[in-house]
Amino acid sequence: MEIDDLITPAHVVARLKATSKKQVLQELAKRAAELTGLHERSIFDVLLERERLGTTGVGNGIAIPHGKLAEMKSLFGLFARLEESVDFDSIDEQPVDLIFLLLAPEGAGADHLKALARVSRLLRDRGICEKLRGTDQPEALYALLTDSTASNAA
């Protein structure tokens, strides 16, 4: 499972504007709906439900909101770099500015977990995160996300 299996250049938002966790999830749901053809509300509801179980703010300014939808046909990723950090109830109580949304089909099981692990490994790399924070060009963000897969192979 590689990052370019989850995202394309169209799945990168270089300057997402949001002022709260809820607004971030709404914006992500809107963008994901545009790209998948699924209902924005369905995506938002599954993300919100997952957040109620516990935050997906994993620390170091990173969040990995995720969920499963029956209508999804395959794994789907969306990366967003926020214009301004927002409080995401993160485990380290630090605001979030890098977000990788992951959606999976209901029966994805192991594939969903492998994708989550892959994204988590990538975003644990402080060097990669510094570079992601250092550019607001979608093409550069996509290149950083996908080029790093070679050095972090599973």
Which residues fall within 8 angstroms of residue 14, CB to CB, at 6 or more apart?
81, 135, 136, 137, 138, 141
- Tell me the C-alpha distance between 115 and 118, whole Å: 5
- Catalogue the active-site residues: 66
In angstroms, rounded to a whole number, what is the distance separating the alpha carbons of residues 121 and 53?
22
CB distance 125 to 148 below 8 Å: yes
- State the residue for tokens 């504007």: 17
Please state the separation of Cα 51 from the chain's center in Å. Answer: 13
